[in-house]
């Protein structure tokens, strides 16, 4: 662990701005938070008195409840604002909604929006730290971080691993954040999906592009399946679920091409029988439920790091406490 | 200057591509017309003198693609604020698009715009009428009525004419009045929900893309229809290399086709959407394109394929642009940045010479729309722009005379600026 | 797990040092602390040593070593990271790294002995008590520290103290353990004020 590195960012908008040591700091911190979930009292007072607003413009049970649980386990005061209850439906602008929330002096605002760039716009205007909980097909940094934590805990490393990400690449924020994170930590990524679900310049994402599931699975250490929402797209990208499953559905037989100790991941919610067969989802290679547990720890780590980010204010000598970095901390002295 | 009085513009570098002039000359103006251009002219009795030493004297610059927003959207811009913005940017004439409310699809709206223009004599205003009634893309608007009221061209700009049969009829019918049909070339079906150029950066940012093909397909269709009908075709704000290639090809086949490009499509790529952090000042239609497109457009500017540069000045209210990228309207302002941008980035950068730039900003646009102006030949109306080639400016939207302030060029340091304009020999004084 | 050592190599001429214990003296002090512990808590099976990260942990291990040498019994050791329980997270400068706590078994019914290198304001121990409480309800909690330097801000006192020393408030007490640092000593650094 790089113990000299300190988090200095006000916001977590994406994986793109982070460097490898920052990513590792989040993952290392998250490892420590995993233990909290095993305690009799699964709650620490770390963020007591901190206000956190979960501002979700898009329905999301999974990510929102994961953030909410992380906030509660850190003793933060959290509040949920969702699109259906927000003033946006009454014609208030997004910026007005956000500045009104800012007026309540929250410390952090978690934002999920269906359009790319919304957290970035708000981060520039708000004093509160902003965490991107998914902006359109752009980024979903905490998902990529929890995926990385899951890979690291299963494989002991990320560097040098061969990872395949399969599905609707064009509309996936998960894939964009994951490719960047995995590249930064030295993994080798292949993306695969139907040609009609590939973005215009797929090669620009920084991964090897394949249009063949079997080729993409060959020898992989990690296989990530993406949620495929065939019904979401007015413009049909694939004729039917049946055809999709035949082309790109992950079955036990096809998974055999991957490495013997392959792990299978899915950001959820799964469409069994569309992108993944039940025997794979529930099989020994699946770490899908671990991802969920790791998600809470990663979000706790991000909440902790952002809300205690170094603001440049040095402690006063009089404020010296026993475990200041730290008088009582013996030889590790005088970092004021 | 009173009627009949004379004005002598002394000692400036006169650049008039229409006559192949580029040198230090005096320009004598009488009765609002250019009388002669010679190395040394004695000032007639009573003549007012304009000392242009160190300045460039050019035929008045003309922007044939702007939005004045009046009637209907006076909160974005008015004829009055628009022409002041034009004059501040060095333009003596502008042509304004028809997408107002009501749409300029009738004589009465055309006359209203011209009446407002008369009340604000800072730059000449040439209305462009709509091709279709209400810009609905179904029935032809009263092109003849509008032409006789003063409309100089026809376009549904803001929207393309999607219907092929309507476009063909427009080409046929507009020939009775010898006016061009200007197309905002975009196949809306291919655009879909797109908000930026479809390519590397839309892929990275996860934003829905507008493929270059949306423009190319439309330009190709229109060129075929123009060829069949003999109509005059002008492509507005061309943004792709392939569309330019098509124009080149069909011109060689004898089709009467012209095209314009906008400064932002020459100076920025789609990467700006990322570099500017989703700022809505990088959102316009057509979108900022890929590097290869920019290079092709610049090649067209250099080799003469591009007929003119127009700003596509499209002001919006601050509140409308101060939203998330996806929700913002398309369009940026340009009247007050075009001249400095092009002087700095094209002329000082050595890509084109000053004479070619004046051709693109004055002689070319006048020719495309068949307007008076674009020349200082003796007998022509003395609409003139004065440029200070080496004066340095910093783009400051706060100082714009336009009501619109959205521009990706804010803060750019540029060398070269328009320092004044004259209409019929009279210096324009901004209010 | 080691701390960055750049602080150690950086000598500040404005600071003067006062030696308190050398390595041999430290070993004697720890041996005495282990003896005191056995005297106070003869039920070795109920004992659980919890070292407060970072330098409370080697102290706990030394005490356990001594107990094992004397009694032949290895006491259970756990690690406590009080970072998440600090009351000064928003006011301190550099953000502390979270390393996590590790307890081998539940604290219910046990006599928990908190071990730390230096007792100063008492806030660390307050945080540690809160944290232990979240793990369960021990039969009792005791406190063992290598050095008590005074200046308490909370009503907390140690049950077993290796060495009590007089310090000024703005002095620094430096404790080094071989496992972590490049030597073994206790000393007081002066002249911190105004740093």
Return the SS3 of A271: coil
CA A120/CA B278 separation, integer angstroms: 8
A205 close to B (CB below 8 A): yes
Tokens of A318: 């009089």
CA B36/CA B61 separation, integer angstroms: 20
pTM: 0.87
In which band, very low, low, confident or very high, does the pLDDT at A324 lie, cut at 50, 70 and 90?
very low
Looking at beta carbons, which residues of chain C come within 8 Å of A317? Answer: 170, 192-195
> Would you call A321 and C101 a contact, using CB atoms and an 8 Å cutoff?
no
Chains that touch A (3 or more CB pairs under 8 A): B, C
pLDDT at A310: 61
pLDDT at A329: 40
Count of all residues that appear for chain A in the document: 336
Please identify every residue of B annotated as catalytic. 312
Residue C87 has pLDDT above 90, yes or no: no
How far is A170 from chain B, CA to nearest CA, in Å?
Answer: 7
Percent of chain C scored above 90 by pLDDT?
Answer: 70
- DSSP character at residue C106: -
> Would you call C94 and A310 a contact, using CB atoms and an 8 Å cutoff?
yes
Residues 6 or more apart in contact with residue B243 via CB below 8 angstroms: B185, B212, B215, B216, B219, B235, B259
Phi-psi region of A334 (alpha: psi -120 to 50; beta: other; left: phi over 0): left
Q: DSSP of B55-121, one letter per residue?
A: SEEEEPEEEEEE---TTT-TTT--HHHHHHHHHHTTEEEEEE-S-SSS-S-SHHHHHHHHHHHHHST
Classify residue A309 as exposed, middle or buried by CB count within 10 Å of its CB (0-12, 13-18, 19+): middle
Residue A325 has pLDDT above 50, yes or no: no
CA nearest neighbour of A102 among A77, A130, A75, A83:
A130
A116 close to B (CB below 8 A): yes
A120 close to B (CB below 8 A): yes
pLDDT at A331: 41
Residue C22 has pLDDT above 70, yes or no: yes
Nearest CA in chain B to A136: B206
What confidence tens digit (pLDDT) does each residue in A139-184 have?
999 999 999 999 999 999 999 999 999 999 999 999 999 999 999 9
Query: Which of C91, C101, C195 lies closest to A334 in CB terms?
Result: C195
> Would you call A43 and C134 a contact, using CB atoms and an 8 Å cutoff?
yes
Q: Do B184 and B212 meet the contact criterion of CB atoms below 8 Å apart?
A: no
- DSSP character at residue B166: H
Q: Do B314 and B263 meet the contact criterion of CB atoms below 8 Å apart?
A: no
In which band, very low, low, confident or very high, does the pLDDT at A240 lie, cut at 50, 70 and 90?
confident
pLDDT at A327: 36
> CB count, 10 Å around CB of B390?
11
Q: Identify any residues that bridge with C174 across adjacent strands, giving them in sequence order.
A: C187
Nearest CA in chain C to A316: C92
Chains that touch B (3 or more CB pairs under 8 A): A
Q: Which residue do the tokens 């642009």 mark? A: B321
In which band, very low, low, confident or very high, does the pLDDT at C162 lie, cut at 50, 70 and 90?
very high
The H or E element that residue B309 is part of is strand B308-309
Classify residue A40 as exposed, middle or buried by CB count within 10 Å of its CB (0-12, 13-18, 19+): exposed
Q: Identify any residues that bridge with B58 across adjacent strands, giving them in sequence order.
A: B385
Tokens of B425: 């020999």
Looking at beta carbons, which residues of chain A come within 8 Å of C180? Answer: 331
In which band, very low, low, confident or very high, does the pLDDT at C89 lie, cut at 50, 70 and 90?
low
Biggest alpha carbon distance in chain A?
Answer: 70
Residue A312 has pLDDT above 60, yes or no: no
In which band, very low, low, confident or very high, does the pLDDT at C107 lie, cut at 50, 70 and 90?
very high
Q: Do A142 and A295 meet the contact criterion of CB atoms below 8 Å apart?
A: yes
What average pLDDT values come out for chain B (431 residues) when binned by 10 residues? 77 97 97 96 94 98 98 98 98 98 97 98 98 97 97 97 98 97 98 96 96 98 98 98 98 98 98 96 98 98 98 97 94 98 98 98 98 97 98 98 98 98 97 94
A325 close to B (CB below 8 A): no
> Would you call A310 and C93 a contact, using CB atoms and an 8 Å cutoff?
yes
> Would you call A117 and B323 a contact, using CB atoms and an 8 Å cutoff?
no
* Cα pseudo-dihedral B300, B301, B302, B307, rounded to 10: 90
How far is C43 from chain A, CA to nearest CA, in Å?
Answer: 25
How far is A116 from chain B, CA to nearest CA, in Å?
Answer: 6
Strands B308-309 and B257-261: parallel
Mean pLDDT of A201-228: 96
The answer for C 163-182 residues in CB contact with A (under 8 A) is 169-170, 172-177, 180-181
CA B323/CA B283 separation, integer angstroms: 12
pLDDT at B384: 98
CA B313/CA B396 separation, integer angstroms: 16
> Would you call A315 and C93 a contact, using CB atoms and an 8 Å cutoff?
yes
Return the SS3 of A131: strand
Query: Which of C95, C98, C118 lies closest to A309 in CB terms?
Result: C95
C9 close to A (CB below 8 A): no
Q: Identify any residues that bridge with B91 across adjacent strands, giving them in sequence order.
A: B61
> Would you call C89 and A46 a contact, using CB atoms and an 8 Å cutoff?
yes
Q: Which residue do the tokens 């902006």 mark? A: A135
Tokens of B8: 């002598």
The residue among A170, A200, A209 with the most chain B CBs within 10 A of its CB, best to mutate, is A200
Is there an interface between A and C (3+ Cβ pairs < 8 A)?
Answer: yes
> Would you call B327 and A115 a contact, using CB atoms and an 8 Å cutoff?
yes
Q: Do C143 and C160 meet the contact criterion of CB atoms below 8 Å apart?
A: yes
Distance in Å from the first CA to the final CA of chain A: 22
The H or E element that residue B388 is part of is strand B384-394
Tokens of C43: 């039920």
pLDDT at A332: 40
The answer for C 87-146 residues in CB contact with A (under 8 A) is 88-102, 106, 116-125, 127, 130-131, 134-136
pLDDT at A87: 55
What confidence tens digit (pLDDT) does each residue in A18-64 have?
999 999 999 999 998 998 888 888 999 999 999 999 999 988 889 99
CA nearest neighbour of B266 among B360, B129, B404:
B360
Looking at beta carbons, which residues of chain A come within 8 Å of C134? Answer: 39-41, 43-44
Q: Do B130 and B98 meet the contact criterion of CB atoms below 8 Å apart?
A: yes
> Would you call C106 and A40 a contact, using CB atoms and an 8 Å cutoff?
yes
Chains that touch C (3 or more CB pairs under 8 A): A
Query: Which of C116, C131, C181 lies closest to A328 in CB terms?
Result: C116
């Amino acid at each position: 662990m790089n113990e000299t590195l300190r988090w200095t960012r006000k916001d977590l908008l994406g994986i793109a701005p982070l460097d490898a040591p920052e990513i590792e700091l989040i993952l290392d911190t998250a490892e420590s938070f995993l233990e909290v979930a095993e305690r009799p009292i699964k709650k620490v007072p770390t963020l007591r008195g901190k206000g956190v607003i979960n501002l979700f413009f898009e329905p999301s049970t999974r990510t929102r409840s994961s953030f909410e649980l992380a906030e509660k386990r850190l003793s933060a005061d959290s509040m949920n604002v969702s699109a259906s209850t927000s003033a946006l439906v009454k014609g208030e602008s997004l910026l007005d909604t956000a500045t009104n929330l800012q007026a309540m002096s929250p410390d952090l605002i978690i934002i999920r929006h269906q359009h790319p760039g919304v957290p970035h716009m708000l981060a520039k205007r708000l004093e509160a730290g902003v965490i991107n909980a998914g902006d359109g097909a752009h980024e979903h940094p905490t998902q990529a971080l929890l995926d990385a934590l899951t890979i690291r805990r299963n494989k002991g490393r990320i560097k040098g691993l061969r990872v395949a990400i399969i599905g609707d690449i064009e509309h996936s924020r998960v894939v964009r954040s994951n490719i960047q994170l995995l590249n930064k930590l030295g993994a080798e990524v292949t993306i695969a999906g139907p040609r009609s679900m590939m973005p215009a310049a797929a090669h620009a994402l920084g991964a090897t592009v394949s249009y063949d599931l079997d080729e993409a699975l060959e020898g992989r250490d990690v296989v990530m399946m993406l949620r495929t929402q065939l019904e979401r797209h007015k413009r049909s990208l694939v004729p039917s679920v049946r055809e999709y499953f035949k082309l790109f559905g992950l079955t036990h037989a096809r998974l055999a091409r991957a490495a013997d100790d392959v792990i299978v991941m899915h950001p959820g919610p799964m469409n069994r029988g569309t992108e993944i067969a039940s025997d794979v989802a529930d099989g020994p290679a699946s770490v899908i439920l671990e991802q969920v547990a790791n998600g809470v720890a990663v979000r706790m780590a991000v909440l902790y790091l952002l809300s205690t980010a170094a603001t440049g204010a040095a402690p006063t000598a009089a404020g010296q406490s026993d475990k200041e970095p730290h008088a009582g901390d013996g030889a590790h002295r005088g970092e004021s | 200057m009173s009627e009949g009085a004379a004005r002598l513009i002394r000692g400036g570098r006169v650049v008039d591509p229409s006559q192949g002039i580029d040198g230090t000359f005096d320009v004598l103006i009488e009765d609002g017309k250019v009388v002669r251009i010679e190395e040394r002219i004695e000032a007639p009795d009573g003549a007012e003198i304009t000392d242009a030493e160190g300045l460039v004297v050019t035929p008045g610059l003309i922007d044939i693609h702007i939005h004045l927003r009046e009637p209907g959207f006076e909160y974005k811009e008015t004829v009055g604020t628009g022409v002041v913005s034009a004059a501040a940017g060095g333009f003596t004439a502008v042509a304004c698009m028809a997408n107002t409310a009501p749409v300029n699809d009738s004589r009465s709206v055309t006359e209203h715009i011209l009446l407002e223009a008369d009340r604000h004599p800072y730059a000449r205003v040439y209305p462009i009428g709509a091709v279709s009634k209400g810009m609905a893309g179904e029935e032809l608007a009263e092109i003849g009525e509008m032409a006789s009221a003063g409309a100089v061209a026809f376009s549904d700009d803001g929207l393309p004419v999607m219907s092929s049969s309507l476009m063909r009829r427009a080409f046929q019918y507009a020939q009775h009045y010898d006016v061009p049909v200007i197309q905002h070339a975009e196949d809306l079906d291919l655009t879909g929900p797109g908000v930026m150029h479809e390519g590397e950066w839309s892929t990275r940012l996860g934003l829905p893309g507008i493929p270059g093909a949306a423009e190319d397909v439309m330009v190709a269709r229109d060129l075929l229809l123009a060829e069949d009908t003999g109509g005059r075709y002008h492509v507005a704000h061309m943004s792709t290399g392939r569309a330019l290639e098509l124009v080149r090809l069909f011109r060689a086949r004898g089709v009467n086709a012209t095209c314009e490009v906008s400064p932002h499509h020459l100076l920025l790529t789609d990467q700006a959407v990322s570099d500017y952090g989703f700022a809505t000042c990088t959102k316009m239609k057509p979108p900022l394109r890929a590097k290869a497109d920019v290079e092709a457009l610049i090649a067209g500017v250099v080799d003469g394929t591009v007929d003119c540069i127009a700003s596509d000045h499209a002001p919006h209210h601050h509140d409308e642009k101060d939203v998330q990228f996806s929700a913002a309207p398309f369009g940026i302002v340009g009247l007050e940045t075009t001249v400095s941008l092009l002087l700095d980035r094209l002329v000082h950068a050595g890509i084109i010479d000053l004479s070619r730039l004046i051709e693109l900003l004055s002689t070319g646009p006048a020719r495309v729309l068949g307007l008076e102006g674009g020349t200082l030949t003796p007998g022509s109306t003395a609409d003139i722009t004065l440029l200070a080639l080496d004066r340095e400016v910093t783009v400051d939207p706060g100082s714009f005379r336009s009501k619109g302030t959205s521009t990706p060029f804010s803060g750019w340091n540029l060398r070269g600026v328009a320092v004044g304009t004259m209409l019929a020999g009279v210096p324009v004084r901004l209010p | 797990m080691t701390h960055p050592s750049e602080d150690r190599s950086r000598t500040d001429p404005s600071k003067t040092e006062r030696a308190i214990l050398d390595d041999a003296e430290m070993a004697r002090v720890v041996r005495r602390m282990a003896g005191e512990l056995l005297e106070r808590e003869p039920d070795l099976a109920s004992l659980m040593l919890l070292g407060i990260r970072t330098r409370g942990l080697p102290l706990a291990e030394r005490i356990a070593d001594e107990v094992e040498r004397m009694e032949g019994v290895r006491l259970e050791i756990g690690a406590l990271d009080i970072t998440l329980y600090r009351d000064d997270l928003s006011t301190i400068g550099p953000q502390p790294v979270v390393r996590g706590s590790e307890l081998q078994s539940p604290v219910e019914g046990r006599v928990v002995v908190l071990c730390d290198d230096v007792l100063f304001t008492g806030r660390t121990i307050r945080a540690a008590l809160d944290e232990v409480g979240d793990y369960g309800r021990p039969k009792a909690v005791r406190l063992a520290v290598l050095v008590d330097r005074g200046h308490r801000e909370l009503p907390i006192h140690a049950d077993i103290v290796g060495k009590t020393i007089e310090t000024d408030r703005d002095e620094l007490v430096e404790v080094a353990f071989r496992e972590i640092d490049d030597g073994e000593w206790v000393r007081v650094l002066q002249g911190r004020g105004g740093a």
